[in-house]
């Protein structure tokens, strides 16, 4: 069974699809907040290690996330065409592709991570970083598998299964972190073990749910199709690079924040965790827009595409306004929930207050990227990602460092980069919308 998104009120579909995704990703973020909380109980070095590890590991996961988004688009278009056999065929090939991709990313991650970690040149938290990230990389198959199975469920309009399992694992993670850190004294490595266990459970449950849908026709029906894999790669490459560049951008920010001390690095990690809580509704809108536009594009119901984009942006900006107000009023209090180091609290509050303004730009970027993926026109995502995540930060932050500006100028510069990227992708996206 799948939800037909080519019929009915668009606003109802957005709410129905986005809300489960928002709730699910809220608990996913709380999962990360729990890790940050327990890392703070260990030491500031542990917090810095988790912050660095997040940016490094996300570079590995980004490829899997981007490729899985292509799966949602391809299967969604097939369902929109009312071609169940085609959707099943794509789904089977996507699962095989996910397995191969996860093995490749594990190997590349284990080979490349030492260089990325050591490039920061701060030995005070390198041991903790390796203790966490190496273990996580061995479990990459669970993360990639979960992304792909969830992508298949999203294409059918099922956002609830992911929500449900994320709620369960968020609470499970609290128990596991407590056991491995407080009872067994495993340190940062204990956080990694808890994460891998929770992710294995997540992947298994989502696979079980996929088997209950029309997309599952049994393993015996599998037929390798190089054309499908190629299309998946072509459509998945731009969003994969976009996600990878987001992760690499996090690493670049960490690199330029490192000279300000481990407190600044730890604050950036904490700030991102808190910021993610307020960006969850925007992520939910992104997922909803991708599913709705994919099905309507496949059904040639083009008249429903532009209203979907307009309504999603409007909802996103309303949410951003609430987030900006919350950060300006309660940034210090939010930071104090995760660390007692007053210098880290000060750095975190500064980051949250400045970065909150950029949420309006993030809304435009997320929604228009989803629209371009849904209509199978994702090519521009690659160059804009390279600009936003690598070229602009490296040039701008290097200039600021040479001129002796502080970390406040870095955060202002980051806002400027995000808004300029949002303006470009809005202009490009509007050109595509006019074609319908």
Top pLDDT among 279 and 78 is at: 78
**Based on the number of CB atoms within 10 Å of its own CB, is 333 exposed (0-12), middle (13-18) or buried (19 or more)?**
exposed
Rounded CA separation 34/276 (Å): 13
Residue 378 confidence (pLDDT): 77
pLDDT tens digit sequence for 141-152: 999 999 999 999
Higher pLDDT, 27 or 363: 363
Per-residue pLDDT at 215 exceeds 90: yes
Residue 300, helix vs strand vs coil: coil
Mean pLDDT of the region 76-81:
88
Would you place residue 301 in the very low, low, confident or very high pLDDT band (cuts 50, 70, 90)?
Answer: confident
Whether pLDDT at 328 is above 70: yes
- Residue pair 29/276 in contact by the 8 Å Cβ criterion: yes
- Beta carbons of 24 and 167 less than 8 angstroms apart: yes
Tokens of 162: 């992911």
Spatial separation of the C-alpha atoms in residues 413 and 256, rounded to whole Å? 12
Q: Chain-wide mean pLDDT for the chain?
A: 88
The per-residue pLDDT for range 87-96, each reduced to its tens digit, is 999 999 999 9
**For residues 84 and 217, what is the distance between their CA atoms, to the nearest angstrom?**
10
Cα 37 to the center of its chain, rounded Å: 20
Residues in the chain: 436
How are the residues of the chain apportioned to helix, strand and coil, as percentages rounded to the nearest 5? Answer: 85, 0, 15
Find the helix or strand (DSSP H, E) in which 129 lies: helix 126-138
Percent of the chain with pLDDT over 70: 98
3-class DSSP string for 318-386: HHHHHHHHHHHHHHHHHHHCCCCCHHHHHHHHHHHHHHHHHHHHHHHHHHHHHHHHHCCCCCCHHHHHH
**Average pLDDT score over residue span 271-297:** 85
For 201, what's the count of Cα atoms within 13 Å in the CB-facing half-sphere?
A: 16
CA 105/CA 140 separation, integer angstroms:
7
> Whole-angstrom Cα distance, residue 114 to residue 264?
22
Instruction: Give the per-residue pLDDT at 205.
Output: 97
Residue 116 has pLDDT above 80, yes or no: no
pTM of the model: 0.74
pLDDT in tens, 274-284: 887 778 788 88
The per-residue pLDDT for 363 is 94
Burial class (CB in 10 A: 0-12, 13-18, 19+), 160: middle
Q: Residue 203: left (phi > 0), alpha (psi -120 to 50), or beta? A: alpha
Per-residue pLDDT reduced to its tens digit, 172-186: 999 999 999 988 889
The pLDDT score that the predictor gives to residue 121 is 57
What does the pLDDT read at residue 330? 92
Domain boundaries, the chain: 10-433
Per-residue confidence (pLDDT) for residue 200, from 0 to 100: 97
Least confident of 7-21, 77-91, 306-320, 402-416: 7-21
83: left (phi over 0), alpha (psi -120 to 50) or beta: beta
Write b or e for each residue in 110-144: b if 16 or more Cβ atoms lie within 10 A of its Cβ, otherwise e: eeebeebbeebebeebbebbbbbbbbbbebbbbbb
Question: Which is more confident, 121 or 376?
Answer: 376
Q: What is the mean pLDDT of residues 17-27?
A: 81
Q: Is 229 exposed, middle or buried (0-12, 13-18, 19+ CB in 10 A)?
A: middle
Q: Can you read off the two tokens belonging to residue 120? A: 């920061």
């Amino acid at each position: 069974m799948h939800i037909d998104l080519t019929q009915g009120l668009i606003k109802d579909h957005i709410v129905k699809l986005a809300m489960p995704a928002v709730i699910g990703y809220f608990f996913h973020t709380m999962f990360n907040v729990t890790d940050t909380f327990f890392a703070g109980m260990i030491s500031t070095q542990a917090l810095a290690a988790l912050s660095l590890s997040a940016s490094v590991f996300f570079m590995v996961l980004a490829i899997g996330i981007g490729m899985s988004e292509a799966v949602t688009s391809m299967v969604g278009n097939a369902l929109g065409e009312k071609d169940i056999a085609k959707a099943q065929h794509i789904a089977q090939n996507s699962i095989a592709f996910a397995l191969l991709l996860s093995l490749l990313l594990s190997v590349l991650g284990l080979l490349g991570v030492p260089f990325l970690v050591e490039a920061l040149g701060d030995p005070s938290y390198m041991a903790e970083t390796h203790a966490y990230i190496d273990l996580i990389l061995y479990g990459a198959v669970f993360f990639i598998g979960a992304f792909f199975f969830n992508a298949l469920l999203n294409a059918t309009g099922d956002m609830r299964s992911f929500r449900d399992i994320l709620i369960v694992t968020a609470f499970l993670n609290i128990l596991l972190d407590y056991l491995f850190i407080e009872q067994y004294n495993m340190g940062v490595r204990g956080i990694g073990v808890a994460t891998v266990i929770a992710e294995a459970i997540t992947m298994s449950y989502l696979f079980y749910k996929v088997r209950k849908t029309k997309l599952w026709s049994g393993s015996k029906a599998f037929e390798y199709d190089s054309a499908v894999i190629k299309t998946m790669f072509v459509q998945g490459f731009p969003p994969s690079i976009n996600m990878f560049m987001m992760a690499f951008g996090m690493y670049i920010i960490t690199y330029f924040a490192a000279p300000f001390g481990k407190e600044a690095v730890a604050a950036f990690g904490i700030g991102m965790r808190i910021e993610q809580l307020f960006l969850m509704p925007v992520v939910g809108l992104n997922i909803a827009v991708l599913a709705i536009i994919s099905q309507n594009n496949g059904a040639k119901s083009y008249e429903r595409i532009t209203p979907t984009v307009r309504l999603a942006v409007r909802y996103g900006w309303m949410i951003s306004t609430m987030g900006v107000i919350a950060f300006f009023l309660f940034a210090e209090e939010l930071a104090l929930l995760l660390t007692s180091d007053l210098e880290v609290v000060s750095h975190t509050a500064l980051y949250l207050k400045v970065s909150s303004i950029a949420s309006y730009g993030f809304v435009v970027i997320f929604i228009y990227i989803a629209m371009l993926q849904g209509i199978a026109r994702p090519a521009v995502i690659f160059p804009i990602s390279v600009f936003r995540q690598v070229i602009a930060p490296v040039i701008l932050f290097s200039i600021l460092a040479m001129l002796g500006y502080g970390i406040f100028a870095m955060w202002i510069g980051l806002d400027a980069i995000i808004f300029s990227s949002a303006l470009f992708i809005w202009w490009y996206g509007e050109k595509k919308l006019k074609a319908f």
